[in-house]
A = this chain, B = another copy of it.
Amino acid sequence: MVQIPNTPTSADVARLAGVSRATVSYVLNNTSAVRISEPTRRRVHEAARELGYVPHAAARSLRAGHSRMVLMPAPAIPVGPLYSGFLNELQWALGRLDYTVVQYGTVGLQGDEAARAWAELRPVAVLVPGADLGPQGVGVLKRSGARAVVTLGPGSVDGAHALLMDHDAVGHCAGAHLYARGRRRIGVVVPEESGLEAYSRPRLAGVLQALRGTDATVTELPLAYTEESAARLAVRWRESGLDAVFAYNDEYAMLLMRALQDEGVRVPEDVALIGADDLMLGRLLRPRLSTVHIDLPSGRDLAELVDRAVRDPSGEPEVHKVLGASVVRRESS
């Protein structure tokens, strides 16, 4: 017969220590408004340890009327070292401010439905990467007690703070660089993988904007992240007449570079190539890959924004441009 242990509650601790539940709460929370005798204190701690008592977060925040939970929908697409480093720093910084960061696995849920699912947890703040949140969603979250809603993505939403990750700037940088290098027939890789449109569209738009009013032409190059797809693109390269490519990011750039070289297209002589994200691996190619270096905000800064917003929820939503982009020219352009 299996002993199914019942989860100990503060009442169990109280009973074992021979005190009331109130006293247990005072002791375990170090409530300063009330002085508990040292022996009692010890008995309570003892009892809690013995029972393996762990407080019940839900009950606690239900009673308190609020929690310190910061909720982030977990990004559905694999995320590079850049962004995951940022996430880590952010979690650490929020942890220092005594928040608990929780990534919520929003699978099939869309838009407002997702917002409602998040709202059920009554987080004190919500950080939403990407563009999956509308004004409705912000309303739902605020009404359910979120004191701060922050979007991290291309646009800003009414009522929410925004960290504008302006990927146009990445494309703009790349386009201007290629133009300055004397290239005029410029291709822009657009990944065929779904979920990347949120980045690829603005990057393309940035290139277009950088070249508007010049004599350069811009050609979209759909490309899947497979060698076959890259080979198909490479095989028809010469007839395309392109003399430069912004390859969306370093990984697609590496893929394309190899395919082009296999076709005898020389980089950078025949075609200048530039990626983005400044991955270590791009540096290892021959020629070394030029790239657009992206600066994300520091996790500390975002954590402080969140904290500020939580403390003063009626403050005006802040909107910050936080994505710095700069060309790192190496050998491929």
Q: How far is the CA of A306 from the CA of B4 in the complex (A)?
A: 19
**Cross-interface CB contact of A284 among B8, B76, B254, cutoff 8 Å:** B254
Cβ contacts under 8 Å, A254 to chain B: 281, 284
13 contacts between A and B (CB under 8 A): A4-B313, A54-B116, A57-B122, A59-B62, A62-B62, A74-B91, A74-B101, A102-B105, A103-B104, A227-B283, A251-B281, A254-B281, A281-B281
Chain B residues lying within 8 Å of A221, measured Cβ to Cβ, are none
Give chain A interface residues in 54-83, CB to chain B under 8 Å: 54-59, 61-62, 67, 74, 76, 78-81
How many positions in chain A have a CB within 8 Å of any CB in the partner chain? 63
For A80, the closest partner residue in chain B by CB is B78
CB-based contact B255/A120 at 8 Å: no
Contact residues, A277-299 vs B (CB, 8 A): 280-281, 283-284, 286
Contact digits for A295-313, partner B, Cβ 8 Å, 1 yes 0 no: 0000000000000000001
| Residues A144 and B7 in contact in the complex (CB < 8 Å), given A54-B120, A55-B120, A92-B108 | yes
A37 to B92 Cα, complex, angstroms: 52
Do A105 and B91 form a contact, CB below 8 Å, given A52-B140, A284-B255? yes
Kindly state whether residue A258 has any CB partner on chain B within 8 Å: yes
Given A52-B139, A143-B52, decide whether A81 and B78 contact each other with a Cβ distance below 8 A. Answer: yes
Does A326 sit at the interface, judged by CB under 8 A?
A: no
Query: Which residues of chain B come closer than 8 Å to A95, judged between CB atoms?
Result: 105, 107-108
Question: Are A85 and B78 within 8 A (Cβ)?
Answer: yes
A273 to chain B, nearest CB (A): 13
Closest to A259 in B: B284
Q: Inside 8 A of A105's CB, which chain B residues have their CB? A: 91, 94-95, 100-103
Q: Is the CB of A5 within 8 A of B103?
A: no
A136-174 CB contacts (< 8 Å) to partner B: 139-140, 142-145
- Minimum distance in angstroms from A192 CB to a CB of chain B: 14
Say whether, besides A62-B59, A88-B76, A54 and B140 are in contact (CB < 8 Å).
yes
Given known pairs A121-B57, A225-B280, the reply for A84 and B91 (CB within 8 Å) is no
For A100, what are the chain B residues with a Cβ–Cβ distance below 8 Å?
104-105, 117
Question: A3: shortest Cβ distance to chain B, in Å?
Answer: 10
Q: Which residues of B contact A91 (CB under 8 A)?
A: 74, 105, 107
Most buried by B among A8, A84, A139: A84
A314 at the A/B interface (Cβ < 8 Å)?
Answer: yes
* A22 close to B (CB within 8 Å): no
> 0/1 per residue, A110-148, Cβ < 8 Å to B?
000000110111100000000000000001101111000
Question: Most chain-B CB neighbours within 10 Å: which of A52, A102, A107, A313?
Answer: A107
Determine the distance from Cα of A251 to Cα of B120 in the docked complex, in whole angstroms.
41
Contact check, A104 vs B107: say whether CB atoms are below 8 A apart.
no
The residue on B at minimum CB distance from A256 is B284
Knowing A280-B225, A281-B251 are in contact, say whether A107-B92 is a contact too (CB < 8 A): yes
